[in-house]
Structure formats: C-alpha cells, structure tokens
Amino acid sequence: MAETVRKILNCFSGDPLDNARESKEVVPTRSRPSRIYALVIGINHYIHASPPSLCNLRGAVRDADSMETYLKKYMSVPESRIRNLRNWQATRSAIIGNIRYLSTCKAIRRGDPILIFFAGHGAVASSPPGWTSENGKVQMLLPCDFIPRTTDSLTGQGIPDITISRLLDELSEAKGDNITVIFDCCHSASATRGFQDPSIGIRGIDLTNIEREQYIVLPALDKDILNAAKDGSRAEAKAIGFENSGTTSYVLLAACKAEQKSHESATCGGFFTDALLRVLRANSPEKITYIDLIEGLPHIPYGQSPQCIGEHSDRVLFNAKAPSPRRILYRVSKTAQGTYQLSAGEASGITIGAKFNLYATREIDSPPLAVLIVASTTAFTAKLEPESISSSPEFSIQAYALQILIGEPPDLRISIEGAIRGNASLNGVYDRVIEEMDKSRAMGKRGILPVKIDESPDISLAVEGERVVFRISDAACVAHSITRMYGTVPCDSDAVFPIIASAADFFSRLRRTSKTTVLRNHVEFVCTEVVSGAGSELNSVGSDLIIDGTLNILVDDQKGYGYEIRNKGDIPLYAAVFFFDVSDLSIAEYYIPNKAKDNENVEFSIPPNSVLPIGYGSSSRRPREYFLREGQNIDIGFIKVFLSTDYVDLSNISQPSPFTELRAERPKAFVPVPQWDSILVTVVQRKGRSSSLAVTTV
C-alpha cells in the first residue's frame, strides 16, 4: 500500500513546496453521512506575537481549512458535526471548552469516531514545582492568546500536555476510545525564522531558551481539570480498574519526533498536514490503518519524521473494530557484493531456512519476483539466497519480502497420540490435526513437531469426558503445580487446531532469546505498586517487587502495578514489554515504541542513563491489575522485555486467547555494535491479601 501511495504522491519530489502536481483523488461515494465528529483548530495569528520568540505563522489556517474540506468532501461529514476554531477564535478557554463539549454532546454516541486537529505553535517549558514530568520539561499547545513570558494571567498560559491528556481521558471515558488526534506543531524550535530559506516557518518555540528571563508555568494551572478524577464514582472505578489512560484512549499522529521541528510555508501549509492529506485523498480510510498511513507518507524534507503513537495504531482509520493480524513486510536491499539482505534478523524471530516471497512494492497481490531463503542471520539482518539458481531477481533500490515458511528448529513439540489411544472416535481428530500442521507450516506458520509423550513435549493433549485439555510441561509452571491450561475445547479438529497453532506462536515468542546478554547487564527491570496522586496522576510507591526474577502477586489486594526499565548504560535503547498468560495463551502488550515512516526515525524508548516508566508518572500506559479465573488458586504468566540498539518491529507479538470463552486482560560519540537482548520475569498470582498496614494520613 505505502509504495503505491508513493507512486501516486509527488508532493516532495523535486521542489518540496511544488503544489502544481496533484495526485489522482478518489472521492468515495457514501449513501449516508459519516458519524465522525471533529474539532478543527488552525492558528496563524497570535495576539501577543513578539518576534523572534513568538512569530505569527502563515500556513496553519490553510491546514485547518484543508482538513475541514477533506472531512466534508471525502468523508461526507455534515457541517453540523465539525466545530471550527481559527485565529482569534482559538483562545485557551475556547480550545479547552470545545474538547470538553465533545465529552458531553448528546449527539455523539459512545464509539463514534472523533477527530481533533491542531495546526499552530507548540512549545516546551520547564516544569513548575510539584509537577512530575520527563526530563523536567512540559510540552504545550499554544492558543492564540498565549503570552510568551511568565505571567499570572490564566488566559495567557499554554495548554500543557498533562491537561490535554486528562481532557482526552475524560472524552474517552464518556465516548469510547475511537479518538484520533493530529498535531501539526513541534516543541523544539527556538524561533520560527532564521533558517536558510526565509519562506519556511517552524511551528514551535523553546520557552526554556528565552533570553533574559526563564519562562515559568503557573504551578496551579488547570487544577480543576487535573483534580476532576478525584470527584465522583467514575474516578473511583477508574482507580480500581485503570481503564482508558493516555495513549490507550486515542491515537496521536504527530508531525515530528520530540527533538525535531515541524515546518510550514504559506503556499504548502504544514509539510506534515499536506503529506497526510495527500495520502488520505488517495486511499479509502476503510482500507488502511494508522500505521499504514504513517508508513505511506512521502518523504518530508528538513529531517522531519512524523510519528504514530497509541496502543490502537493498528486499527483501521476512524474505526474502533479490532484489526486483522498484521502481515509484516520486510525491506530487502542488494549489497555491493550482489547478495540480498533482509532488514530483520534474530531479534525478529528470523531463522535459517525461512522462506520469503519477494515483491517489487508493498502491493503483494501481483506475482512475486522470486522466492528467497535465509542462509545466515545476525541480530537485525539476514542474508537471503534465491531458492532457484536460475532466479536472480533485479530491483532498483529496495524490494519487500513476506515470510511464507518458518525456518528451523520447530517452535512447538506436541504430544497428541496419547489423547486418542483407546478412543477410536477421535482418530479422525488426530489425522486432521497432523494434516493441518503440514498445511500451516507450508503457509509460513510456526513449525509444529509431533512427538511421543516421553520425548519432552511442550504441551500434550488429553481427553476428559467430551473435552480436550492441554497439559503444560514448562518447568516454572510445574514447580507451582500448574500442569494444564485453564481452557478446554470440544473433541473436534476445528476446535483443537487453533489452540495448537496459537501455542506454537506463544512458545516461539516466549523463548526468543539473544545469543548474548550484554544489554541486560546495563538494564534493570523493576515492578512497584501504583497509587493515585494529586489529580489524575499515578505514582509508584514502595520497593521493587521482583525478587530473583519472580514477581509474586496477591490478587485479592486488587492493587495496580507499574514497571520501570532503567537504562544504566551510555547508549539509547528500544524496548518492548509483553505479558504471556500460560493459562489462555494470550500475549498482552505492555509497551512498544511509537511508529514512524522509516525504522531509522523511530524515537528511542530509553535515552542513556534514564528511566522508562510504564503505567505511572509520565507514562501514557495504564497500570496493570492481575486476577485469577474461577476455580483457580494460583496462576503463572511471564513478562518478557525485549531490548535492542536498533528498532525492531515487534507489533505482531501480541495475540488474543484462542480460547474464545476466556478472552477478558544521550549516546557517546561512537557507533555501538548492534545488539538485542531480553529479560524474563515469572509472575505468580495467588489467592489472598497482604497483611494489613497502618497508614498515617497527613
């Protein structure tokens, strides 16, 4: 899809501001109006503009108008469902009030798609006393009445990120998480001019770098909004359940990385918005996801790399329905030696012998150029060779590969025959399962090896009554008397095989381990209890609960838990965290990095000598609460932390339970050697409460 988009779009080829060429636009025909509700904000003129610290813009209103036109013309959104704020209309109170209006509007049903678009200035400032924030800074959107100096005026303040986050949490609690937020602004520029090309503007100011005085945010700013979570039963329910929070509530499309600048011109508008709308006009929103949208953007000049942020970034645009599993396409390049190199390796689960179809573009409906086989692997790459000696595919710069066959060794050892011994009625189930295993491997699914019960299977099948049960051989589980999965299925191959296929993926991903352990020696993974602090803030309390690689949880305490990844080294790292539930074979995503157009432009998860909080503080992820299912007194799961120096797309690791009835939970001046590693924590969940503690309130 993305390659097709690039062929259609020419916005930034040649002159980056050349708008003479338009892509072929496909205007969808809709039989009824869209249910999208939108708030569209564009600010060119700032009341207190004071160059060079705060300059007016020239393309933000154009962007907002273009977004409004797109919604009306391409999405058939009635004018009554679009609220517009331009220039002097976009005051601080108006922006906040209109976001809150969306939460209370009776015409908006829960689950309706909601879009909030902002084009204007962003800013970064030092955090005021008492605020918890990453690196002691706070990011803000700047309304038209913002005053670029310290002031006691409430109306002259920016809108901090924590305020925006709380407002979006309120909106999600009221209307659901089908929320899209687009910000065409930045937070790292010291001025909006002064660049080699005076026609190019920058949509951001750095309030930590204003000459003669330091800008100070009002410490009590927006306490009414931040404290709203303390009032009423809804807040109490959220404190227990930790429902929608941060980027679990919405998907954010940002114009650039945190340290980059968002650019604009009077003729093109914001480079990001212009590129975004070109992709949107050329594609049906029902057919692409947010990740597809970002990856399909044409090149944006001046080092600007848009980001896609949010737990639901794999959803179809403006649609809350669960997406289909992603088929990951890997880039393939031809080396100077004439060999083929895959942009994925051991960290992505690629093994020797795996096969890939090679395509010239991301469109995989056409016949493949060739079939390539993995000959050798490194941490992040693999050497490919043509399956046929006579087949040596030619392509210009790069091509794309789709895995069609898993390499060796097999991912799951399974004992089946013991389940049918003496039960003639189940012979057909055995034959069908073996047949499906062969088909599955030929289609690029996980390798499954049938073994005898005395040949150390990973799982074995048994029959109890009219149900098939799945016994577990994992040593950690057996040590805690967990010998079988919680779920069962009927004695039918259509019910049995999906469990086996899911188990193959589950154990393959759980056991994916680096050949070296260098990174984990410079990283600490910590779990603590999380409690509510001031306003809607969540704080970590107490000491690390992980002892000797095991986290013991008493589920009756109904506590929330957060995590920290502490990078004690001098190189930045990417991280991804997942919870593997052995009882139902589900894999839950706790944290993955943002997405960007190119892997090289994905922001690092943890800078050197810093901490990544998950589930509290500045984290946009919710805390975790653990539970036992009916009839369980103890259960075991695993938290796996993937670490790497290069970005690895691990978005395909998470998976729902196949048991449908159970579905419920700054670097040194050298180039480091590419590495990846992982950490595994066993989570033991037991019945019971912890001892009562005396609590003194102040």
Interatomic CA distance for residues 551 and 685, integer angstroms? 8
Please say whether the beta carbons of 470 and 459 come within 8 A: yes
pLDDT of residue 694: 36
Cα separation of 222 and 235, whole Å?
17
Q: Where are the alpha helices (DSSP H) in 212-300?
A: 223-226, 232-241, 271-282, 290-295
The answer to whether the bond into 298 is cis (omega within 30° of 0) is: no
- β-sheet with 467-472: strand ranges across: 448-450, 412-415, 459-464, 467-472, 489-490
- Please tell me which residue, 80 or 2, carries the higher pLDDT value: 80
Q: Cβ of 557: how many Cβ atoms within 10 Å?
A: 13
**pLDDT, position 93:** 96
Among 31-40, 76-85, 461-470, 483-492, the range with the most confident prediction by mean pLDDT is 76-85
What CATH number was assigned to the domain covering residues 2-16+38-309?
3.40.50.1460
The CA distance from 542 to 561, in Å, is 11
Is the pLDDT reported for residue 4 higher than 70? no
Structure tokens at 437: 């295993």
> What's residue 541's pLDDT?
80
Is residue 642 within 8 A of residue 571, CB to CB? The reply is no
Query: Using 50, 70 and 90 to split pLDDT, how confident is the model at 110?
Result: very high
Percent of the chain with pLDDT over 90: 26
Residue 428's pLDDT is what? 62
Q: Which residue has the tokens 């109904």?
A: 558
Q: What 3-state class would DSSP assign to 409?
A: coil
Q: Given this model, what pLDDT does residue 89 score? A: 97
Which residue type, as a one-letter code, is found at position 352? I
Q: Are 449 and 413 in contact (CB under 8 A)?
A: yes
Rg of the chain on CA atoms, in Å = 27
Query: 561 — alpha (psi -120 to 50), left (phi > 0) or beta?
Result: beta
The percent of residues in the chain predicted with pLDDT above 70, rounded, is: 77
Q: Is residue 172 within 8 Å of 180, Cβ to Cβ? A: no
Question: Hey, where are the domains in the chain?
Answer: 2-16+38-309, 329-405, 412-510, 519-686
Mean pLDDT of 492-507: 84
Query: Which pLDDT score, from 0 to 100, does residue 629 have?
Result: 85
Contact present, 563 and 608 (Cβ < 8 Å): no
pLDDT of residue 51: 85
**pLDDT value at position 427?**
62
pTM more than 0.75: no
For residue 658, is the peptide bond before it cis, meaning its omega torsion is within 30 degrees of 0? no
3-state helix, strand, coil in the chain (%, to 5): 25, 25, 50
Average pLDDT over residues 531-554: 79
**Cα(10)–Cα(484) distance, rounded to whole angstroms?**
57
- Please state, in angstroms and rounded to a whole number, the distance separating the CA atoms of residues 204 and 187: 5
Tell which residue, 509, 457, 508, has the closest CA to residue 478: 457
Please report the pLDDT score of residue 262 as a whole number: 93
Query: Under a CB-based contact definition with an 8 Å cutoff, are residues 145 and 91 in contact?
Result: yes
pLDDT for 184 equals 97
Q: Tell me the residue type at 488.
A: T
The HSE-up count of residue 189 (CA atoms within 13 Å, CB side) is: 26
Residue 98 pLDDT greater than 90, yes or no: yes
Q: Decide: 175 and 239 in contact? Cβ < 8 Å.
A: no
* pLDDT for position 324: 57
As a whole number, mean pLDDT of residues 9-35 equals: 47
With vertex at residue 236, the alpha carbon angle to CA 231 and CA 238, rounded to the nearest 5 degrees, is 110
Q: What is the pLDDT of residue 269?
A: 94
Amino acid at 202: I
What mean pLDDT, rounded, does the chain reach? 79
Could you tell me if 228 and 166 are in contact, meaning their C-beta atoms sit under 8 angstroms apart? yes
Contact yes or no for 564/611 (Cβ under 8 A): yes
In this prediction, residue 475 carries a pLDDT of: 80
* Cβ(456)–Cβ(415) below 8 Å: no
- Reported as a single tens digit per residue, the pLDDT across 121-157 is 999 888 877 666 656 778 899 999 999 988 888 899 9
The candidate with the shortest Cα–Cα distance to 563, out of 589, 586, 587, 590, is: 590
Regarding beta strands 370-377 and 355-359, do their DSSP bridges make them parallel or antiparallel, or are they unpaired?
Answer: antiparallel
Instruction: List beta partners, residue 459.
Output: 414, 472
Tell me the pLDDT tens digit for each residue of 384-443.
988 876 666 777 667 888 887 777 666 678 887 665 555 555 566 667 666 766 665 555
Class of domain 329-405: mainly beta
Question: Among 74-88, 159-173, 415-429, which stretch is predicted with the lowest mean pLDDT?
Answer: 415-429
- Provide CB contacts within 8 A for 433, sequence distance 6+: 416, 493, 496, 497, 500
- Stretch 445-468: mean pLDDT, rounded? 78
Query: Cα separation of 127 and 138, whole Å?
Result: 5
Instruction: Report H helices in 283-395.
Output: 290-295
- pLDDT exceeds 50 at position 20: no
- Return the DSSP state at 228: G
What CA–CA distance (Å, rounded) separates 201 from 270?
9
Phi, psi for residue 100 in degrees, rounded to 5 = -70, -30
- Residue-level pLDDT at 557: 72
Better-predicted residue by pLDDT, 338 or 688: 338
Higher pLDDT: 30 or 222? It is 222
Give yes or no for a contact between 421 and 459, defined as CB atoms under 8 angstroms apart: no
What is the dihedral sign for C-alpha 505, 511, 515, 519? positive
Q: What is the pLDDT of residue 36?
A: 95
Q: Closest Cα to residue 169, out of 123, 234, 220, 215? A: 234
Contacting residues for 495 by C-beta, under 8 A, at least 6 apart: 468, 489
What are the backbone dihedrals phi and psi of residue 241, each rounded to the nearest 5 degrees, phi first? -90, -15
Q: pLDDT by residue (tens digit) across 549-599? A: 899 888 877 788 889 999 999 999 999 999 999 889 999 889 988 888 777
Cβ neighbour number for residue 441 with a 10 Å cutoff: 18
Q: Which tens digits make up the pLDDT trace of 270-317?
A: 999 999 999 999 888 887 889 889 988 988 988 899 999 888 888 889
Q: Is 480 left (phi over 0), alpha (psi -120 to 50) or beta?
A: alpha
Q: Which one, of 55, 53, 47, lies nearest residue 209 by Cα?
A: 53
Summarised one tens digit per residue, pLDDT across range 316-367 is 898 866 555 566 788 888 887 778 899 888 888 888 888 888 888 777 777 8
Q: What is the pLDDT of residue 30?
A: 52
CA–chain centroid gap for 454, Å, is: 42
Task: Report the alpha-carbon distance of residue 484 to residue 478 in Å, rounded.
Answer: 9
Highest mean pLDDT pick, 15-24, 421-430, 459-468: 459-468
What does the pLDDT average to over 512-538? 79
- Asked whether the beta carbons of 241 and 230 are under 8 A apart, the reply is no
Q: 2-16+38-309 and 329-405 share one CATH topology?
A: no
3-class state of residue 481 by DSSP: coil
Mean pLDDT confidence for 194-222? 76
Most confident of 16-20, 241-245, 632-636, 638-642: 638-642
